[in-house]
């Protein structure tokens, strides 16, 4: 742990048949609780038209596609492949935490096994996810809630940014900063450590403040209406204001 921030090596395994691409942003942000998501694999039969929505997302977030054909009708070979890969990663001894993105209760035994070796497992699924899988995880996050919050929070802030500083900070960056701040630990006054917020944002593979024309993360936050930056002796802190 560096400066109080988690430095674990996290693996995110995604069951494309039972997960929505709209959730990937907040999922990566939440996993910053455990460290950096260095292993990002997504599993499915990519010949299926239903998985087309994942194609652009996989490229943008550096998800490694794992092809798994439907060998027998009615049997999900994807689950088996994900389980085998998770056990291989566990045996390698270099992964310190897992994210399992699925609403399938078949992953409950896998989660239980990973936790028996002392690893932390976050689950991400729909509100309909069976209780067994939910309870097996150290923390289960309802992606329906994540997506609803994201949709409700972003437009108002993004519009304000465009009105005050046209073109200064685009909507995707605003969404990124909001997600990172909302998932960070905050003091009683609502301030979060800028370092922690930055690490959560960095779980996006291409995030760098210089890509948006700012030398420092604090400068970027100051350019977005709805945020204030407080520089103290112990470092910089950020707060979202209404």
pLDDT per position as a tens digit, 131-183: 999 999 998 988 887 665 555 544 444 433 333 443 456 787 888 888 889 88
How much is the pTM?
A: 0.69
Average pLDDT value for the chain:
83
> Residue 162's domain is classified under what CATH number?
3.30.420.610
Supply angle C-alpha 194, 199, 201, rounded to 5. 95
Do the domain assignments include residue 86? yes
The SS3 assignment for 28 reads helix
Query: What tokens does 207 get?
Result: 């995030």
Asked if residue 110 has pLDDT above 90, the reply is yes
Mean pLDDT across the stretch 219-224?
88
- pLDDT: which is higher, 71 or 84: 84
Structure-block tokens of residue 212: 């948006």
Range of the domain at 34: 8-142
At residue 202, φ and ψ (nearest 5 deg) are -70, -10
> What mean pLDDT is predicted for residues 66-82?
76
In a domain, 1, yes or no: no
Q: For residues 207 and 220, is the Cβ–Cβ distance under 8 A?
A: no
Question: Which of 223, 222, 225 lies closest to 242, judged by CA?
Answer: 225
197: tokens are: 């917020």
- Number of structural domains in the chain: 2
- In this prediction, residue 4 carries a pLDDT of 56
Query: CA-based Rg of the chain, rounded to a whole angstrom?
Result: 19
């Amino acid at each position: 742990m560096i400066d109080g921030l988690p430095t674990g090596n996290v693996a995110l395994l995604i069951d494309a048949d039972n997960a929505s691409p709209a959730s990937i942003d907040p999922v990566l942000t939440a996993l910053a609780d455990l460290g950096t998501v260095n292993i990002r694999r997504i599993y499915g039969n990519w010949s299926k038209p239903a998985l087309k929505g994942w194609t652009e997302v996989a490229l943008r977030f550096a998800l490694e596609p794992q092809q798994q054909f439907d060998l027998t009708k009615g049997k999900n070979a994807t689950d088996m492949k994900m389980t085998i890969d998770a056990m291989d990663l566990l045996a390698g001894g270099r992964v310190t935490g897992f994210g399992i993105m699925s609403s399938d209760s078949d992953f409950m035994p896998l989660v239980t096994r990973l936790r028996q070796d002392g690893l932390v497992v976050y689950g991400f699924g729909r509100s309909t996810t069976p209780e067994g899988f939910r309870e097996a995880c150290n923390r289960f996050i309802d992606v329906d809630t994540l997506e609803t919050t994201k949709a409700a929070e972003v437009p108002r802030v993004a519009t304000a940014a465009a009105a005050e500083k046209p073109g200064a900070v685009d909507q995707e960056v605003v969404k990124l900063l909001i997600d990172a701040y909302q998932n960070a630990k905050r003091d009683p006054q609502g301030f979060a450590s800028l370092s922690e917020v930055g690490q959560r944002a960095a779980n996006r593979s291409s995030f760098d403040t210089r890509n948006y024309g700012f030398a420092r993360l604090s400068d970027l936050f100051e350019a977005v209406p709805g945020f204030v930056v407080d520089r103290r002796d112990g470092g910089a802190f950020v707060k979202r204001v209404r």
